[in-house]
Structure 1
Amino acid sequence: MAPSKNILLLIADDLGREQIGCYGCKALQTPELDKLAASGSQFDMAFASTASCSGSRTTIYTGLHTHQNGSYGLVGSRNGFQTFENVETAPEVFNKIGYKTGILGKIHVGPDSKYPWQTRKSDGSRDTAMIADKAEEFFEEAKAENKSFFLTIGYIDPHRVLATRGGFGNVDGNYDPRLKDRFFEPEDVQIPQFLQDIPEVRQELVEYYRSINRLDQGIGMVLQALERAGLADDTLVLFLSDNGPPFVNSKTTLYDAGVRLPFLLRVPGKASGVVNTNMVSYIDVLPTFLDWAGHTDLQPPDGSEGPRRGRSILPVTDATAVQTGWDHVFGSHTFHEVTNFYPTRYMRTRRYKYHRNVCWKLDFPFAMDLYASLSFEGMRNSGTKSTPAMIGKRALKSYICRPPEELYDIDQDPDEIHNLAAEPEHQERLLSMRAALEKWQAETKDLWLWRDGMSVHIFKEYDYEREGLKIPDRFDFDVDNPGTKDVVGYPQHPQQ
């Protein structure tokens, strides 16, 4: 029998980089995640495409951005976003090549027909020890079946408990005697740069930390089970989070706090203890898995949406220096809940970040769990008659009311506060990044590439010359100057 090429994907829910020891957190110990980082590569510049749970998972499972795969926002309930039928997903392709596929815990993608994991155990429990037991059963089944496996574990932690304020699923004993609960004091927490240092924030971080502590232990138990099964040397392990922490100014936004995330990759045969600064995207995950499985040329069948946008990370996994071409990423966010419509696209280079807020005249919306949080209530009430309410270093007003374009020098302004889009000395860079983003939007058939308030992808189907259609070259419809006689027209073939 040929050596197994197993895959273990561990997805945390709403976990930021700032809460993991190997990424610099001093207030909370995460020894199991730190050990995983030390045994492989810790990516420092890993970016989700979107900042919402369901959508982010679909980019991982498809190698396509959300505006390509149809999962524009959250699945389930009355949200209803679903992966398109002509999109090939990870469980489909790995079933096809003979893997044993499975998922434990949080699934949060749909429809079920597009995600046909052979073992599918959806579970809302936060008992991470019990989840480790189920993983061990799966490992033993794969051995008995003499099959390579692809197992995903979707942890609920450290997501908030919905319909509670400040709750993170913590109960006495943390569900299982093998899990050692740890209590934190408000004065001991480390305030992320995107939040205010107020009592309500500290109170929620205390509970958030307890949830992360439980998650860390559970991951250690899974990796120990993998060792006991004798499969560790044949298994690629990837740990990541779907989006940033469940606080305003992070989750649901494309600021770095929402999309620059933990990404720990251990590949048998590759160097360990690597801090990797190459820029990678979550759309690279599926191509990486296929490369590990020996199927680099396996593309979606005819009629499928594609080709996949990502590429395999394996060639740069243990690189200690930045490699040519790994210097920028793109991202796409449109909805969270169905009522949270705010389409934004971004381009991130090593130093600069460009945001295109398509419907910028709308107020930036709140996910319900963030709006109801104690931390947001404290921040919105932090202003006075003479000083504005703040969220971190950002005025609450500027968080809600955003301009059409934002450009930031991340080296000088890591919190993305000082917008350079209107500054003359940055116009060349603004135009260059805008053009690169629009080229990417055209290549990916993004419906939210707009001119004059209309979708370029839709109106380009017209024969411009024959129909006499002239599209003003501007983002929005100008109600004060609606005419088209004396305006510059948008290019007939924007994709070129």
Structure 2
Amino acid sequence: MPNILFILAEDQGAHLSYLGTPGLQTPNLDRLARSGIYFENAFVGYPVCSASKAAIYTGLHNHTNGILNNTHNFHKPASAVTNAERGLRLAQTNRINDRFVTLTELLDANGYYQGVTHKLHVLPNEKFPYDEFHRTDTAQMDDFLRRASELQRPFFLMVNIPYSHRPYPNSDKEPIRVQPSKVEIPEFLPDTPEVRKDWAEYLAGIEKMDAVAGTALQKLKASGHADDTIVIYMSDHGPTFQHGKMTLYDLGLRTPFVVAGPGIPAGQRCDELISGMDIMPTLEDWIESRCDCEMKLPADSIAAKSGRSLDEYLQSLDGKSFAELLANPDAEGGHEYIVNEISNRGPLPNDGIQERSVFDGRWKLIYRENVEQAWRQVNADTREKKPWGNRTYGETLRVKDKFPRQYEILAEMDPQNLQGTVRRLELYDLHNDPDEMRDLSGSPKYANERSRLIEALKDWKEQTADESIRLSTFP
């Protein structure tokens, strides 16, 4: 069976020097992208850490898998979780439902030796039977690879890299290579020296992450396993700026995504729509094709006990295999639509604002219910200067008269503190408006696009049994 190295960056948007991001240098990830396939239209399922990971691990949307918003991080084996930790309210309510199989459980049932670095950040721990939990990024990687070889077991190693997560490198205290004058500020942020400094520090965090990814890839090569290992690199969601983390805009949802390894053509780009939820079914397809074997469900899983086969179970997921694209990136094997969700008050059911988006590769519709609540989940690092180093939130407040549109975007993101008006419906043409600044939902000229995406969202609601939205009336 092929080995798997999964490099997961935290809070990184689709920003690489490989993609031409001004001011940024990412030589290691650029090299990885050139050695395999870069997926230009890859998205996470839910734009915050725990929920995004839950969607990746289960192949299911979060209203189904059970984790909505962040949960506790018990980075240790299930046997080490205390009764006090298990009794915490969030540990009981914001967790993956027992009836679903995680990628970790699936690989464990099929003989993989598994490790995870830095943090787990999903629950319950019983559904993540890793053999090793590493506190550091790559320091223990050599020993992990050696043990897997000694045991003659294929390995799965998830390397979580935190450096593109706030707090970024503080350029007031340490020099960074990225120059604020060389960066390009998205249109939804005020273009001031302070925001440029913040964006430059974000890019510096990506460069630090790139160095760690490079170390992981070097260690893989030194182990002699580079030729029998599939490497996946992506992020859990976008960065902590307006239109980023915990929003359904492109900065929050679009992720860099590379797959490289044996049998995967090098130097290719694919523009098919794919999701992090596609990883589990894709790996099952790819593993079986490489080893001429048949994988099985965990024997103690509810799915297996009910008599379902692994193929039947995978067909029931929201994610779909894109293994065909790994053999031929010009094939048609992606999604027709990418649908995303946010439940602002977390575990369902709740009376908070529900947000959904549907995207077809060009047109995006964002739909919300319960907007009269005027309360949205704003993570501390999206707002606070201390300890998170966020310069942009306060700066947008300071220059709101000079940049009224950018302030309006901030106020809509944080309505409970800034009295912003949360819109029920938005429509964007990302080909002509990649920063999603011009809402076309009220224009008769684009009524057909609006209606088409609303119907696609209705179909998705039925297919995924999303009972937390009504989709009954539209503005």
Q: TM-score range by the shorter chain?
A: 0.7 to 0.9
> In structure 1, what is the Cα distance between the partners aligned to 2:273 and 2:151?
38
Change (3 A) 1:423 1:390: closer
Deviation at 1:442, TM superposition (A): 1.8
> Which residue identity lines up with residue 368 of structure 1 in the other structure?
A
Mapping for residues 249-288 of structure 1, pairs under 5 Å: 249-288=243-282
Which of 149, 153, 166 is the aligned partner of 1:147? 153
Report the count of equivalent residues: 429
Whether the aligned pair in 2 keeps the contact of 1:274 and 1:318 (CA below 8 Å) is no
2:138 is equivalent to residue 132 of structure 1:
yes
Q: Residue 350 of structure 1: SS of its match in structure 2?
A: coil
- The aligned runs of 1:14-29 (5 Å cut-off) are 14-18=11-15, 20-29=16-25
Q: Which residue of 2 aligns with 1:55?
A: 51
Higher mean Cα deviation, 32-41 or 139-148? Answer: 139-148
- What residue in structure 1 maps to residue 103 of structure 2? 90
Letter in 1 for 2:230: L
Matched, 1:419 2:439: yes
CA contact (8 A) 2:242 2:410 kept: no
Describe the SS at the equivalent of 1:278: strand
Q: CA deviation at 1:37?
A: 0.2
Q: After superposition, give the CA deviation of every residue in 1:232-268 in whole Å (9 maximum; x if it has no partner).
A: 1111100000000121221110111110110011031
1:297-335 deviations in Å (ceiling 9; x for gaps):
756435699721112222112545362654421112214
CA distance in 2, matches of 1:252, 1:227: 36
Distance 1:267 1:333, change over 3 A: farther
**C-alpha distance in 2 between matches for 1:242 and 1:92:** 20
Counterpart selection for 2:404 from 389, 400, 420: 389
Out of 26, 35, 38, the position equivalent to 2:34 is: 38
The amino acid of 2:218's aligned partner reads Q
SS in structure 1 of the partner of residue 372 of structure 2 = coil
Residue by residue, what CA displacement relative to the aligned partner does 1:355-380 show, whole Å, maximum 9, x if unpaired?
Answer: 11122223344222111122111012
* 2:383 counterpart of 1:371: yes
* TM-score for both structures, normalised by structure 2: 0.83
More displaced 10-residue stretch of structure 1: 410-419 or 257-266? 410-419
> Which of these residues, 282, 304, 307, is aligned with residue 301 of structure 1?
304
Alignment of 1:87-486 (within 5 A): 87-121=100-134, 123=135, 131-161=137-167, 167-168=168-169, 182-294=176-288, 298=296, 300-301=303-304, 307-317=316-326, 319-321=328-330, 323=332, 326-335=335-344, 341-363=352-374, 364-372=376-384, 373-384=390-401, 389-391=404-406, 395-399=409-413, 400-450=420-470, 473-474=472-473
Greater displacement, 333-342 / 397-406: 333-342
Q: Distance in 2 between matches of 1:186 and 1:35?
A: 25
Task: State the secondary structure of the residue aligned to 1:160.
Answer: coil
CA RMSD, 1 decimal: 2.8
**Matched letter for residue 37 of structure 1:** A
Looking at structure 2, the residues matched to 331 and 298 of structure 1 have their Cα atoms a distance apart, in angstroms, of 29
What letter matches 1:443 in structure 2? Q
Change (3 A) 1:149 1:320: closer
Opposite residue 293 of structure 1, the aligned amino acid is: I
Cα 1:93–1:5, aligned 2, differ >3 Å: closer, same or farther?
same
Instruction: Write 1 or 2 for the structure with the bigger share of helix.
Output: 2
**Distance in 1 between the 2:436 and 2:196 partners?**
23
Q: Which amino acid aligns with 1:71?
A: I
Query: How has the CA–CA distance of structure 1 residues 156 and 244 changed in structure 2, closer, same or farther, with 3 Å as cutoff?
Result: same
Using the TM superposition, name which of 45-54 and 206-215 deviates more.
Answer: 206-215
Q: Give CA deviations for 1:375-425 in whole Å, capped at 9, x if unaligned.
A: 1110122122xx663438x64445542322222222122222222223223
Instruction: Give 3-state SS (helix, strand or coil) of 2:139's partner.
Output: helix
One-letter code of the match for 2:326? T
Unaligned runs of 5+ in 1: 126-130, 162-166, 174-180, 452-472, 477-496
What is the distance in 1 between the residues matched to 2:382 and 2:47? Answer: 13
Give 1 or 2 for the bigger CA radius of gyration. Answer: 1
Would you say the 8 A contact 1:106–1:155 is kept in 2? Answer: no
Q: Report Cα offsets for 1:404-455 as digits up to 9, x if no partner.
A: 222222212222222222322333332222122122122212122216xxxx
For the residues of structure 1 that align with 2:170 and 2:410, how far apart are their CA atoms?
28
Contact map agreement 1:7 1:289 (CA 8 A) in 2: no
Say if 1:408 and 1:416, in contact at 8 Å, map to a contact too: yes
Partner of 1:494: none
1:106 touches 1:156 (CA, 8 Å); kept in 2?
A: no
Higher mean C-alpha deviation, range 54-63 or range 181-190: 181-190
Distance 1:96 1:416 in 2: 44
Amino acid at match of 2:364: K
Shift in alpha-carbon separation, 1:257–1:136, aligned structure 2, 3 A: same
Normalised to the residue count of structure 1, the TM-score between the two structures is 0.80
For 1:261, what is the secondary structure of its paired residue? coil
State the Cα distance separating 1:39 from its structure 2 match: 0.2
Q: Given the superposition, is the C-alpha separation of residues 360 and 368 from structure 1 closer, same or farther in structure 2, using an over 3 Å criterion?
A: same
Q: Which secondary structure state, in structure 2, belongs to the residue aligned with residue 293 of structure 1?
A: helix
Alpha-carbon distance in 2 for matches of 1:408, 1:245: 20
SS of residue matched to 1:427: helix
What amino acid sits opposite 1:54 in the alignment? Answer: S
Does structure 1 residue 11 correspond to structure 2 residue 8? Answer: yes
Note if contact 1:287-1:296 (Cα within 8 Å) is conserved in structure 2: no
Q: For the residues of structure 1 that align with 2:452 and 2:295, how far apart are their CA atoms? A: 32
**Measured at CA, do residues 325 and 260 of structure 1 come closer, stay the same or move farther in structure 2, by a change above 3 Å?**
closer
Q: Kindly tell me: are residues 347 and 361 of structure 1, through their superposed partners in 2, closer, same or farther at Cα, counting changes over 3 Å? A: same
CA contact 1:170–1:210 (8 Å) conserved in 2: no
The alpha carbon displacement at 1:38 in A equals 0.4
